[in-house]
Structure 1
């Protein structure tokens, strides 16, 4: 059965947004000339979709929008390089970046092939887009990629071109990429663990290939991804991202791009979490109507009436939070739901950093040093980090967690030390030795040939979650040194009322005094137990960060606590509603 109200909502958003965007992009020659290939094709796709549901809108004002569409198509043709590809930012002559545009082109041509767009629009776009496709095909056939998700982006583009141009070689090349198998983890996150790339690349590409190749197993993978992302929902409607290996790991992520995917899979698979996710996203404003209108028109299951959220869904309304263990990602989440299956409070405990394996902070790695977060609808602790002053290695990044009920334990062991003279067989008469990596820095020292007198600091972090907050207990074994614990506080009109003083870089907690903050009608009290007389210490993000001029990248307002490793450190957070 058609969800009439949802379809009308998407069409209404498209009629308001797409013409405005097209007119703005073509308002003058300079603006159009600076429009990159991907947004250009997105606007063309939007106009094709809009013409399928409201040709009057496209032809209004004497066909002004049709003239704009013609200008966009000509501009896209001009942007195509002689090699048949496009440039994307610093990615020159780029097959994967071209794949994004080609995928949208194939979607637009799929609509044209369904005879759903107006004849006037077909006359403007059909032959020029076919010409672009024919010119791109040879380069896409042999093109390479950079990142895990690019494999599915370029595979989808190859399949789309193969169907559009009736060229089996393109589809065979796609199968060569697909033979590597989709990088979905057992916990439902792709290997990049990024909501952004799941929403914009992997999921839509798998959906397109499922349709064109009749690969229903691809929909199973998308459903698994959607279920996982549904369980990353925060009380403010964004998704948890600390686990990501991509740029979004320090940002909140609006899940609106998952909308059509969630509606499709909710109607195909009826998984309770995906159904609830689809209902949640369907109630929001339509931010990208060109995307969602196109997907609705291509597969009408997107706009079918959604199943109801199952009455028996384990939302934890009466029995406490629902605990979800993302085992491959080394992350656990606790979610407290209201009676509409929307999270009231969430907490995340995390030990999935890639730092221990690489000793690098770099693109493509999980770099976020957060050990946990805890969010309510008005006020939250968006990160908690612990940084011992130990050979400038930086904050703790445990690599495993274990859970017993509502208590999590994470452990980390870090080792550095001092090197002895080289043995005679490794001594070079000219004093020139290979450049080697010590774990913190490089030097011409043949570190790998030297004996090291090792110094080790072991850390045990216990996190106990409750309905009104959390308690963190930290124990160290090893040399006595100072450490800093930093929490990031977030909330609308956040105010810190007591227990802090500014130390020149951030708010520092006073020893023996609780920190009290509030936002909206919620108050947070942070009590801390550390060794008496502890002097404030700086938070050290580590030499790998500071050497290149980087900083701690703490989301929210940071509050710092100081301690020494010779004593256990206890931090307790309690959230409570304020009396009106």
Structure 2
């Protein structure tokens, strides 16, 4: 299990516990009683601890003693560190069944020893799925393990000093690596800086601060939209928010919080009606994934309380409603800062009717209460539509024009209330190459097409016009130029729903044709209507088009010159 799988795995494994009131069993001596929502997360964490312990190697003679295996039976530092991270939350929390548990502490000590044993001489660890001797992956572990160190120390668990000594050994060695090591991606700078911040809070060291300042000297990678460079709305934007809060608090740089606020303000326009986050413009592995907003809960809660911001408070409530116990993946954040246990300020209604353009991300968001639509540039999927729980997760258009007819555009052009998308393609043929450029050995690669005259050049221009209607959205597609080119429009729906008014295309897994009239897609009580249809052929695997997605897909087909208008409501 790598660093990216912990939160999702814990959410799936642990979210079955009901959110009941535990305040009656809180010890009277506990100075700051935990609110019920936090106690519920602690109870959920207990299930995670029990699950993780089942993966730990316990055989005394085993070289891997103390390590934890992932779901692929691979021992790794990330799974091992997770036992310490989640276990610390249990030791610290009076309502946990692991509160001050010496048995759990012994397992955590074995885990700490395994981390020290497998740590490289330079202080780094490996992410076995991809990164080796990795400073950033060391940073991911160190930040959370430093928080665990604090929780264990404050728990007063008998025998904790011995375990903490082993954990300190790992952390200080890692600190040496973090003070000099390199990174891969923009967010890694803040991962390393936040980890060094936490280490500096425990064991102040000028070299930690110097390295933090060096990374911060590159400035924060935020555009005018409020988005970070990677545009990773599900994973790395929220991660960067958490990291910048940590750095801001630890090295006393309140100006860093302005970047967090700007990103949180932007994110409020990236929310689908069902509480999912828009991921279509991401530049990382979360592109177009289905994700909820639990990763933003800590930043919204921290600044809702700090700023007394009612909109942020409303976002917290939305996240609690739609992502619930998934926020438990950040329990250590919530336990190490009891200012977060305060009640949220009064909520301010969220904006549910808007048209918002994010030019730097090449994205337009249109929201009308229970439905929304997203327009996306630089993407073969350039339109989505969601109504309630029914999701049209993508629209694509392609023609079999010289194997390069997949429609994609660079820029969204707005003309009044219409967005215009244009693609121009050329399809040339090539004449004999000049005599002085002929390769003596006849090697084709030595006589490139760029050196050959062109002839019989074919042209194809596709223009897509998108506008809002009284109850949804409308797309008009016009393709002119070379005639009789087969074309197909794909409507890609989220799996699990029911299609009506369409005809199954034989010899396909989940492809359908809307020949005429109106079709519909129903999922969980939400219904999207679409049409009118067009079905002039059944070739839905056009040469040069992207492969069909693993999802129910409705096709509208025709030939150039192609002109058709389809509406969604």
**Structure 1 length-normalised TM:** 0.82
- How far 1:486 moved relative to its partner? 0.7
* 1:552/1:186 CA distance change after superposition, 3 Å: farther
Over 3 Å counting, the alpha-carbon distance change for 1:2 and 1:270 in structure 2 is farther
What residue in structure 1 maps to residue 448 of structure 2? 446
Of the structure 1 ranges 157-166 and 136-145, higher mean CA displacement relative to structure 2 is found in 157-166
Matched, 1:216 2:216: no
Please list the CA deviations of residues 172-208 of structure 1 after superposition, one character each: whole Å capped at 9, or x if unmatched: 2232222222222221221211123335632222121
1:143 has 2:181 as partner: yes
For each residue in 1:210-244, what CA deviation from the matched residue of structure 2 results, as whole angstroms up to 9, or x when unmatched? 11111212211122222222322223322121111
Query: Which moved further from structure 2: 374-383 or 446-455?
Result: 446-455
1:48-70 deviation per Cα after TM superposition (whole angstroms, max 9, x unaligned) = 2332222873357x733222222
**2:139 is aligned with 1:99:** yes
User: 2:297–2:316: 8 Å Cα contact kept in structure 1?
Assistant: yes
Q: 1:417 to 1:125 in 2, by over 3 A?
A: farther
Contact kept in structure 2, 1:25 and 1:35, CA below 8 Å: no
Q: Structure 2 vs 1, CA of residues 169 and 419 (structure 1 numbering), >3 Å: closer, same or farther?
A: farther
Determine helix, strand or coil for the equivalent of 2:54. helix
1:109 to 149, 165, 177: 149
Tell me which residue corresponds to 2:103.
Answer: 64
- Residue 25, structure 1, aligned to residue 77, structure 2: no
What is the deviation of 1:163? Answer: 4.2
Q: Which residue of 2 aligns with 1:517?
A: 521
Written as runs of structure 1 = structure 2, the 5 A alignment for 1:245-264 is 245-264=283-302
Query: Residue 412 of structure 1 aligns with which residue?
Result: 423
**Counterparts of residues 115-134 of structure 1 (less than 5 Å):** 116-120=154-158, 122-134=160-172
Match of 2:218 among 180, 188, 205: 180
Which of the numbers 183, 194, 197 marks the counterpart of 1:156? Answer: 194
Distance 1:447 1:304, change over 3 A: farther
* CA distance in structure 2 between the aligned counterparts of 1:557 and 1:55, rounded to whole angstroms: 46
Out of 217, 221, 230, the residue aligned to residue 268 of structure 2 is: 230
Select the residue among 531, 552, 561 that pairs with 1:557: 552
**Deviation, structure 1 residue 158:** 3.2
In structure 2, what is the equivalent of residue 318 of structure 1? none
SS in 1 for 2:179: helix
Going from structure 1 to structure 2, the CA distance change for 1:137 and 1:517 (only over 3 Å counts) comes to closer
Is the contact made by 1:194 and 1:241 (CA closer than 8 Å) also made in structure 2? yes
Greater Cα offset, 467-476 or 369-378: 467-476
Quote the offset at 1:385 in angstroms: 0.6
Q: Deviations over 1:67-91 (max 9, x none)?
A: 2222222222233123321111221
- Residue 429 of structure 1: how far off its partner (Å): 4.1
Which digits, 9 at most, give the CA deviation of each residue in 1:346-384, with x for residues without a partner? 11111143xxxxxxxxxxxxxxx2111111123221111
C-alpha deviation, 1:542, in angstroms: 3.7
DSSP-derived class of the 1:488 partner: strand
**Pairing partner for 2:230 from 179, 187, 192:** 192
Give the match for residue 504 of structure 1.
Answer: 507
Gaps of 5+ in 1: 316-320, 338-343, 354-368, 434-442, 546-550, 575-580
Matched with 1:528 is 532
Check conservation: 1:3, 1:304, Cα contact below 8 A.
no
Deviation at 1:534, TM superposition (A): 2.1
Counterpart of 1:567 in structure 2 is 562
Q: 1:125 offset after TM fit, Å? A: 3.3
What CA distance in whole angstroms lies between the structure 1 residues aligned with 2:506 and 2:103? 60
Describe the SS at the equivalent of 2:229. coil
Residues 1:529 and 1:519: Cα distance change in structure 2 (over 3 Å): closer
Cα deviation 1:318-367 (Å, max 9, x = unaligned): xxx31121121111111223xxxxxx2211111143xxxxxxxxxxxxxx
| Deviation readout 1:73-130 (Å, 9 max, x if unpaired) | 2222233123321111221211121121112122223445xx5222436324321121
Alignment of 1:9-88 (within 5 A): 9-14=40-45, 16-26=46-56, 32-33=68-69, 34-54=74-94, 57-58=97-98, 63-88=102-127
Find the residue that maps to 1:397 and give its secondary structure.
coil
1:490 matched to which residue of 2? Answer: 494
Q: Name which of structure 1's ranges 424-433 and 132-141 shifts more when overlaid on structure 2.
A: 424-433
Quote the Cα distance in structure 1 between the aligned partners of 2:467 and 2:200. 54
| Structure 1 pair 101–571 and aligned structure 2 pair: CA distance change class (3 A) | same
- Residues 455 and 276 of structure 1, relative CA distance in 2, 3 Å threshold: farther
Tell me what 1:363 maps to: none
Alignment root-mean-square deviation, CA:
2.9
Provide the rounded CA distance (Å) in 2 between the counterparts of 1:270 and 1:42: 33
CA distance in 2, matches of 1:75, 1:236: 43
Measured at CA, do residues 201 and 451 of structure 1 come closer, stay the same or move farther in structure 2, by a change above 3 Å? farther
Structure 2 spans left out of the alignment, 5+ residues: 1-31
Shift of 1:160: 3.2
Residues 373 and 381 of structure 1 are in contact (CA less than 8 Å); yes or no, is this contact kept in structure 2?
yes
Question: What is the alpha-carbon distance in structure 2 between the residues aligned to residue 2 and residue 126 of structure 1?
Answer: 26
Out of 447, 457, 461, the residue aligned to residue 460 of structure 2 is 457
Which residue does the alignment assign to 2:363?
A: 331
Does the CA contact (< 8 Å) of 1:26 and 1:71 recur in 2?
Answer: no
- How many angstroms apart in 1 are the aligned matches of 2:39 and 2:543? 50
Change (3 A) 1:185 1:48: same
2-side partners of 1:552 and 1:142: how far apart? Answer: 46
SS at the partner of 2:462?
strand
Equivalent residues of 1:412, 1:460 under 8 A apart: yes
1:30-65 per-residue CA deviation (whole Å, 9 max, x = no partner) reads: 8835342123223212222332222873357x7332
